[in-house]
Amino acid sequence: MPYSLEAEQSVLGAVLIDPSCFALVMENLRSAAFYRPQHQQIFDVMTNMFNMNRTMDFITILDAVKGEQIFETDEDAKIYLTNLAQVVPSSANVEAYCRIVREKYYVRRLITASREIIDMAQESQAESDVLLDSAEQSIFDIRQGRNTSSFKHIRTAITETYELLQHLSGEDRDKYKGISTGYPALDRVITGLNKTDLILIAARPGMGKTSLALNIAENVATKGGRTVAVFSLEMSSEQLAQRLLSSQASVEGQLLRTGELTGDDWVRIAMASQVLSKADVYLDDTPGITVGEMKAKLRRLKKVDLVIIDYLQLMSTGRRSENRVQEVSEITRNLKIMAKELNVPVITLSQLSRGPESRTTHKPMLSDLRESGSIEQDADIVLLLYREDYYAREEAEERNIAECDVAKNRHGEVGVVKLGWDNRYTRFTNLELGRDEP
């Protein structure tokens, strides 16, 4: 395996003669970047001392290395660390030494990943698509490790913000503002679907969370001309297409499922099919998909403006875990990271616990989110759906009205947005507000 012994020794030696440079070293390297196990262990010792605010110099580091028994004898430790301190020309060039160590590390990872890909291809009975996904994910994991950010002076951040404000107030503002959901009342509260946001739509079964997500996908793709990727872990792509056709063509979903269609229905379906066929909507119905697999598939699209996942509790981390709370926490963290990496809004659907069923009002709350409090913490926006007439079919004051409660909004206000609900076409609509209503 390729590595630079001189560069690794120079990094560690620079810290021994000038411990103040270790903060810079930590920004550039992790212990895994070193090839020699002893170098990894010495770096771990330095890291622990730095994290514990212990005094770092040649003597204290030597004492800590002896305590970890990295070398066979204390004398070997002393001789080796002395050589490290003598081999480095100057600590001023430590960043250049780090760069050499890091580059060799990525080359080794590429070699290892390539060998694993070859072994999988020769031994595995898996389909080529699965192998491609695995290969892409391996390479992406290496590339992801290279993406590090440093401090940005507030002057630079303000300049970038000022440029964004100019764009938002200019003629091409639509390119820079949040993507419209197709529901103006909701857009006013959440300022549209903004890049890097993790947006959660949560409700009890039967409230229409899948319908709302598909309606938003339809609006974004057909009216906004954007590219939408939909991952459905519960319904097949054919069932999703049926729902989209029902909404777009205004043909009852039940008629589409039974095939009892009139001549007018066929005409509307044909027209809706033309509209939807031109829209950039991509459907994936892989069950139990992981976040890593999602990222691999989304990268192949090259351009995506919105990601929708139906739904969170059916996702997997790809590893066996007896603690479902920790597993869901890991999934939500990774979804937020994915939204930032791909720089797109991610809408994730989520089930609620049975809490609303035991309450008089049945209205959901943030505490009803199932399995993990991290769902609420990681999400930028949480939308809770509720329809009164679902529970009180006869006594409901507002029929065919859905409340979309913006229970959390990291960017602004919270509040309830009312939408129309058309059960025949499983479609949410904008309400016609009177002149006196805001």
- Give exposure, 107-127, as e/b (b: 16+ Cβ within 10 Å): ebbeeebeeebeeeeeeeeee
437 in any annotated domain:
no
Q: Which of 111, 134, 150 is the last residue of a domain?
A: 150
Largest separation between any pair of C-alpha atoms in the chain:
93
Q: Is 163 a catalytic residue?
A: no
pLDDT at 125: 67
- Of the candidates 102, 90, 82, 106, the one whose C-alpha atom is nearest the C-alpha of residue 21 is 90
The verdict on 42 and 101 lying in the same domain is yes
pLDDT at 435: 37
Tokens for 334? 């990774």
Single-letter amino acid code for the residue at 187: D
pLDDT at 207: 83
Q: Which of the two residues, 408 and 162, has the higher pLDDT score? A: 408
- Of the candidates 29, 33, 213, the one whose C-alpha atom is nearest the C-alpha of residue 108 is 33
The verdict on 204 and 327 lying in the same domain is yes
**At a CB cut-off of 8 Å and minimum separation 6, what does 162 contact?**
none
74 in any annotated domain:
yes
pLDDT at 414: 85
Please give the C-alpha separations between residue 276 and each of 160, 217, 339, 346, 427, in angstroms, as whole numbers: 37, 11, 25, 21, 16
Name the residue range of residue 229's domain: 181-430
- The predicted model gives 211-237 an average pLDDT of 87
* Residue of 234, 327, 330, 341 marked catalytic: 234
The verdict on 328 and 234 lying in the same domain is yes
Contact 268, 256 (CB under 8 A): no
Does residue 135 register a pLDDT over 70? yes
23 in any annotated domain:
yes
| Bridge partners of residue 419, in order along the sequence | 402
Q: Which of 150, 172, 195 is the last residue of a domain?
A: 150
The verdict on 289 and 425 lying in the same domain is yes
Backbone angles phi, psi at 409, to 5 degrees: -145, 105
The verdict on 194 and 115 lying in the same domain is no
336 in any annotated domain:
yes
- Please name the helix (run of DSSP H) or strand (run of DSSP E) that holds residue 131, with its range, or none: helix 128-146
> Rounded to an integer, what distance in angstroms lies between the CA atom of residue 183 and that of residue 192?
9
Q: Sort residue 151 into left (φ over 0), alpha (ψ -120 to 50) or beta.
A: beta
Note the pLDDT tens digit of each residue in 285-300: 888 788 877 887 887 7
302 in any annotated domain:
yes
Q: Total structural domains in the chain? A: 2
The verdict on 291 and 236 lying in the same domain is yes
Average pLDDT value over all residues in the chain: 81
pLDDT at 147: 52
64 in any annotated domain:
yes
The verdict on 136 and 186 lying in the same domain is no
CATH number for the domain that contains residue 347? 3.40.50.300
Count of Cβ atoms closer than 10 Å to residue 316 Cβ = 16
Does residue 409 register a pLDDT over 80? yes
pLDDT above 90 covers what percent of the chain?
A: 10
For the CA atoms of 360, 362, 364, 367, the dihedral, rounded to the nearest 10 degrees, stands at: 40
The verdict on 306 and 227 lying in the same domain is yes
The verdict on 265 and 351 lying in the same domain is yes
Angle among Cα 246, 249, 252 to the nearest 5 degrees reads 40
